[in-house]
Chains A and B, each alone.
Chain A
Amino acid sequence: MPRNYASLSNCYKPLPFNLAQSQQASTTTTVSKKSKRDRASHELRVLRLELGITSATGSALVELGHTKVLCQVIGPTTTSTTTVNMEEGTLECQVQYVPNVGYPITSLVGAAASGLALSSETQQHAQQPTSGRINTQIGGVEKELANQVLSSLAAAVPLKAYPKNVIQLQLTILQDDGSVMSACTIAASLALVNASIEVYDMVTSATVAVMNDEDTTQPKLLADPTYSELEQADAVVTLSLLANWKEVTLWNQSGRLSSTLANEAISLCRDGCRSMHKFMRNALLDFEEPGGQKTTTQT
């Protein structure tokens, strides 16, 4: 299988953990909401899409700024379980954060509230969550992401064309700096196409964060937010689209939004999805298999 040696961009310096900022945040009751954003509010981050980098049937590496996700597709293969579906194929998804590095630990350290310690000496220790607790929390997040990626992709694959087969998606999150759900969906769609699995359309995804600005009364809509922007946001909307069919496969909103603001956020997501679809298509057309064959797409 193709062996394009992909290199990760921006991976020489780890994401800065701003100790001074987090200590300052704990002593003041309000965290300053002003964050410098070096791109326009509707601009996506530096994007890198690579295909066919591992020896799995299909694979893709997606970098949205500092968020890096790798997806491998194994299949269609037969399954040895007794619960095989005779009518249509099964899509399975598994998400894993690279241990100790992938998950933004700053969101967990000190974030877990602990029960009352019996004595004052142990109270300091009680603040730090144990590694077992961190692992269960990460496991829960991974499961949730896997369910959502699965439901956003299931509409795109004509499973009736693969009866009794299992298509497995394995996502590895190398680094999470916001918009990880979108990055996973994009990586999974590209990997499916790279594995030559028939799809109705590629699924694209975009995340928008809504922040109430103190300076102006108009709330700000930020496309493709980073992790720190997500933490400060008042609401986050994630949308996954089948761009050519204009159908929504995943729709999530957390945080309060009035209906006009929600509609604006969804429109911004839709624009983000459309531009992402163009980038994905270009990445596919530029991808060359060894042997010089180019991928063909039917629109």
Chain B
Amino acid sequence: MASGLALQLSESEKLYLIDGCADNCRLDGREREDIRQYTIVTSSETTSADGHPPLMLSNGSARLILSSSGSTSTHILCSVKVEVMTPSQSQPNQGNLIVHVEDSLAANSSLSRKKNEEDRNRVQSIISELLATNLIDLESLCIIPYHYAFNVSVDVEILSGTAGSIIDACCHAIRAALQNTLLPKVVPSSIVNDAGTSMDPVGSSSSDLMLESDLSLAQTPSGIDNAAVVVTVTVCHRALTNSYLLLLDASLEEEACCFCQVHVAVDAREGTEPTICALRKTGNGSLPWELLPEITALAVKAVPMTKSSFRVAGSSRNNASLLQTQLDIQ
């Protein structure tokens, strides 16, 4: 439902799948609340000492690989690019974060183009609504209020989505990429100038800012450690007993026969009660009233499981020397 690779299942296949879920044994043997293990690659270990992040010219990047049994895999690539811009008048103390999702492989498939475009936009709008304000502290992106602020542009490329659970995977990849992003340290030159030498008001020339080319002074965006985690709860309806089954981390087959899905962005920092930052229901099924608190409880319960099911390949702070040379040139 969320990607252009919608599977068509026959009625008996759907019945088989849902009966399996009711018996707590899904197609790949998992229980209803089991999550598959993800692999996040933030730098690849090569034979030489320094590892390189997946995309060396971006400020931050991450690759997420989720492979399921039967050679299906969900492969997401996320890139974060930072540039300096003028903040908007209504929020002069804040930077900006834009999330853009591309699904290029589905565009080349034989499905009709219009439907693909709609599905792609759907994934993008769901993810940006859930995450845009819940990832980092936007006020920390401000350099000089009213004049300069950072614009963080997150681009997600869905390389393959056959293992399902695309929205969750994209959100994890975004989180990992932002955790490995380095914002260059930018100092307003009016502070650096000696008193009396420069009387230009800020904004009149383009050399108001000085970029520190020392890589060790670059910082990660603040607030990323407390960023929201997105959990998708898939609801399946069993007609025989008129019962509703809640699944976590659905595969593509399960998404094809699900009743509806609820995407929940949960902020679960240490020491405080987990709060729900955003919630979206997608799908054409209607949920009975009693199920709503069960769904939110399951989503909140899943957050520590999701956080511990990552396997991070490569160390995160070994940055390519290419980024250093890029800062030197500027």
Contacts and interface: CB of A to CB of B under 8 A. Distances in A.
A246 B289 contact: yes
B85 A113 contact: yes
Interface string A245-280: 111111111111111001100100010000000000
Between A247, A248, A266, the greatest number of chain B beta carbons within 10 A of the residue's beta carbon is seen for A248
A112 interface: yes
A266 B292 contact: yes
A119 B278 CA distance: 40
B276 A155 contact: no
Interface of A: 22, 25-26, 29, 83, 110-120, 123, 126-127, 140, 143-144, 147, 151, 154-156, 242, 245-259, 262-263, 266, 270
B287 interface: yes
B283 A151 contact: yes
Contacts of B280: 251-252
A120 B205 contact: yes
Given A113-B96, A143-B121, A256 B85 contact: no
Interface string B81-110: 001111111111100100000000000000
Nearest to A249: B286
A253 B285 CA distance: 18
A102 B288 CA distance: 34
B286 A248 contact: yes
Contacts of A156: 286
A47 to B, nearest CB: 24
Contacts of B288: 246-248
A114 B86 contact: yes
A268 B93 CA distance: 34
Contacts of A154: 284
Interface string B120-137: 011001000100001000
Interface in B44-65: none
A249 to B, nearest CB: 4
- Chain B interface size, under 10 / 10 to 19 / 20 to 34 / 35 or more: 35 or more
B129 A123 contact: no
B72 interface: no
B284 A151 contact: yes
Contacts of B205: 120
Contacts of B289: 246-248, 270
A64 B94 CA distance: 33
Contacts of B96: 113
A251 B279 contact: yes
13 contacts: A25-B90, A113-B151, A115-B83, A116-B148, A140-B121, A143-B121, A151-B284, A247-B287, A248-B289, A251-B292, A254-B279, A257-B275, A258-B275
B86 A126 contact: yes
Contacts of B262: 251
Interface string B262-302: 10000100000101111111111111110011001000100
A118 B205 CA distance: 9
A199 B151 CA distance: 47
A25 B90 CA distance: 7
Contacts, number: 118
A226 B314 CA distance: 50
Interface of B: 83-93, 96, 112, 118, 121-122, 125, 129, 134, 145, 148-149, 151, 203-206, 262, 267, 273, 275-289, 292-293, 296, 300
Contacts of A245: 286
Given A120-B203, A262-B296, A114 B276 contact: no
B125 A144 contact: yes
A258 B125 CA distance: 24
B292 A116 contact: no
Given A112-B88, A113-B149, 5 more contacts: A29-B93, A115-B85, A155-B284, A257-B275, A263-B293
B276 A257 contact: yes
Contact of B267 (A155, A246, A256, A263): A256
Contact of A262 (B87, B121, B149, B276): B276
A251 B287 contact: yes
Contacts of A115: 83, 85-86, 151
Contacts of A22: 90
Nearest to B296: A259
B286 A242 contact: yes
A156 B284 CA distance: 9
B67 to A, nearest CB: 30
Given A115-B85, A127-B86, A248-B292, A256 B276 contact: yes
A151 B90 contact: no
Contacts of A147: 118, 122, 125
Contact of A83 (B86, B89, B112, B267): B112
A250 B281 contact: yes
Nearest to B205: A120
Contacts of B283: 151
A120 B201 CA distance: 11
A23 to B, nearest CB: 9
Given A151-B283, A251-B279, A110 B89 contact: yes
A84 to B, nearest CB: 13
A114 B151 CA distance: 9
A253 B275 contact: no
Between B203, B267, B276, the greatest number of chain A beta carbons within 10 A of the residue's beta carbon is seen for B276
A151 to B, nearest CB: 5
A126 B289 CA distance: 48
Contacts of B90: 22, 25-26, 110-111
Contacts of A257: 275-276
A266 B86 CA distance: 38
